[in-house]
Amino acid sequence: MIPWLGSSLQFPPVSQALAEPDGLLAAGGDLSAARLLAAYRGGIFPWYSPGDPILWWSPATRMVLEVNALRTPRSFAKVLRNRRYRVCFNQAFEAVVRACAAPRDGHRGTWIVEDMVQAYLRLHQAGHAHSVETWQDGQLVGGLYAVCVGQMVYGESMFSQVADASKIALAHLARQMQAHGLSLIDCQMHTDHLARLGAAPMPREDFMVALSHRVNLPTPSGLWHYCFDNEPSRP
């Protein structure tokens, strides 16, 4: 049995997470900004399907991306240099979240249910959730959204409507993080796509150590102010 959360914002120790299903720690509670921030500070994230209670997770192995390990093969480096695009932060947060929540690849839905959309909108309004958007000719064609606590960034989801659009967004997020001294993105769960981008597994114990000091550092003031224009004006 796993604990059922009440009104308290306190979570069980992550060492109590189940081995099967991997990382399930608790159920219940709510998606208030205060609870979500307490979860992220403790290495915990919500993930559940429509019709289920809110489930809270801390897997035994965490997928993380060291921003200096992001893979940019020659073909993608050429895309970054030569394709016409613009990357901006926080210009269309809700549109990015809803694009991430839209069904894809023949699936009927995603884990980003409406309650989750509203919860991350509240986090965005509070200054803790951010979007990274790729635009082409004035159209939003890809991007991602993330949570930031202190100097720890937690990638939540990404989408692409044209080839490489989310990768372009991630590359610019990594560039901006490096410029401000941040080094680690929590990607939560393993996917082949993340592995191809350079993300790697990290044992929960090591992740908690990496997390513990980052969440207590101040977020650099200019981190989430960014716009890069690779769409030069035509004569």
Neighbours of 197 (CB within 10 A): 20
pTM for the predicted model, two decimal places: 0.94
pLDDT of residue 51: 87
Length of the chain: 235
C-alpha distances out from residue 192 to 20, 33, 199, 220, Å: 21, 31, 9, 31
pLDDT of residue 193: 87
| β pairing state of 4-5 and 24-28 | parallel
- Domains of the chain by range and CATH? 4-59 (3.30.70.3550), 63-229 (3.40.630.70)
H/E stretch holding 33: helix 33-41
Confirm if 5 and 11 have CB atoms less than 8 A apart: yes
Q: What is the pLDDT along the chain (235 residues), one digit of tens a residue?
A: 899 999 999 999 999 999 999 999 999 999 999 999 999 999 999 999 888 999 999 999 999 999 999 999 999 999 999 999 999 999 999 999 999 999 876 544 567 899 999 999 999 999 999 999 999 999 999 999 999 999 999 999 999 999 999 999 999 999 999 999 999 999 999 889 899 999 999 999 999 999 999 999 999 999 999 999 998 765 4
Please report the sign of the dihedral spanned by the C-alpha atoms of residue 172, residue 174, residue 175, residue 181.
positive
Confirm if 55 and 27 have CB atoms less than 8 A apart: yes
